[in-house]
Amino acid sequence: MPNNMKHDFSKNDGEEAARLARLSKAIADTCDDGFGVNRVDTNNLPRRDEIIDITEKLLEVIYPGFDGRSINGDIPFAEEIGDMLKAIYSGLFDQICRAIRYNSKDADCCECGVKKRANRAVFALLDALPELRETMKLDVRAAYAGDPAATSFDEIILSYPGIKAITIQRLAHVLYENKVPLIARMMTEYAHSLTGIDIHPGAKLGRGVFIDHGTGVVVGETAILGDNVRIYQGVTLGAGNFPKDACGMLIKGNKRHPTIGSNVTIYSGASVLGDITIGDNSVIGGNVWLTESMPAGTKITASQPENKLRFANSSK
């Protein structure tokens, strides 16, 4: 049997070609309603592969040398970082311009306005990098302090999925705050695909956050986490309900996720839902389903076999 089994339609315009032509027409017809997954002006659509490349370059700035790329000792370190920043600026500026044009409701969107907005957003992220590096040092220290299996900071940076997910989310959050939500979401979904940890770029994270193991963790858009929060696998910080407007459409942009105080630990499988507040220094046990605010110093566990919640306020 010959290895090349490709069909040469130039030599056969029979039933197969006609059938494919009908399918092509049917698929093209589904694009006429202008809804969703249709042919778009791809020149103004951010490129996923390029967003991933930019994200990896940003990670290299946060953790120089940890992606396996050797540091050139013949070049001053600041100069090498400068070269990376130039590459990030060039690529991110282009992608943000695409995102702004794509999302613009104004067909006559001023190009100079697009470039000014893109430039502001890019520099907002670049200007934030020194502080983000300092914040990630605290996150790495929190992981080391909170995990008895951790042997070094290097091990945590190289192998802990929670650190990667948090780092990318912190980078994406700056873009989210600067009105580039599409690229920010693409970055955090890239992290999600790598780590199994889904943190929306809109979530606000304090310092010293530690996500241990991490698989299945979900942190919603309007969630707020204080300092030194520790979260284990399978935790959901989600919405309790989804209010709708008079037309039956979901209301977007409202605060609908929890606010977690500082020094709170949330054990595996817990679901904390709705616009509620968990006070500082609280502990939420595994598999707890929580939809009510709790004062500071509260310990919450799911008793067995009744599976009812048990509360103890350590501050009393």
| Judgement on whether residues 264 and 171 belong to the same structural domain of the protein | no
Looking at residue 48, its pLDDT comes to 95
- Same domain? For 48 and 192 the reply is yes
- Please indicate, yes or no, whether residues 69 and 146 belong to a single structural domain of this protein: yes
**Same domain, yes or no: 230 and 192:** no
In a domain, 128, yes or no: yes
Give pLDDT, residue 44. Answer: 74
Shared domain check, 189 and 49: yes
The helix (H) or strand (E) run that includes residue 259 is strand 259-260
Strand, helix or coil for residue 97: helix
Instruction: Check: CB of residue 298 under 8 Å from CB of residue 312.
Output: yes
- The verdict on 163 and 48 lying in the same domain is yes
Whether 208 is in a domain gets the answer no
Residue 68 lies in a domain: yes
The domain that holds 149 is classified in CATH as 1.10.3130.10
Per-residue pLDDT of the chain (316 residues; tens, 9 = 90+): 556 666 666 655 678 888 888 999 998 888 777 665 565 556 678 999 999 999 999 999 999 988 766 566 667 878 889 999 999 999 999 999 999 988 775 545 677 789 999 999 999 999 999 999 999 999 999 999 999 999 999 999 999 999 999 999 999 999 999 999 999 999 999 999 999 999 999 999 999 999 999 999 999 999 999 999 999 999 999 998 777 777 778 888 899 999 999 999 999 999 999 999 999 999 999 999 999 999 999 999 986 544 456 666 654 4
Residue 8 domain-assigned? no
How far apart CA 316 and CA 295 sit, in angstroms, is 11
Report the SS3 class of residue 266: strand
Question: pTM of the predicted model, to two decimals?
Answer: 0.88
Bridge partner residues of 265 (DSSP) = 230, 283
Instruction: List the structure tokens of 179.
Output: 């009105």
Q: Of 171, 198, 225, which residue constitutes the final position of a domain?
A: 198
Q: Do 95 and 185 belong to one domain?
A: yes
Write down the pLDDT at residue 162.
98
* Residues of the domain holding 68: 43-198
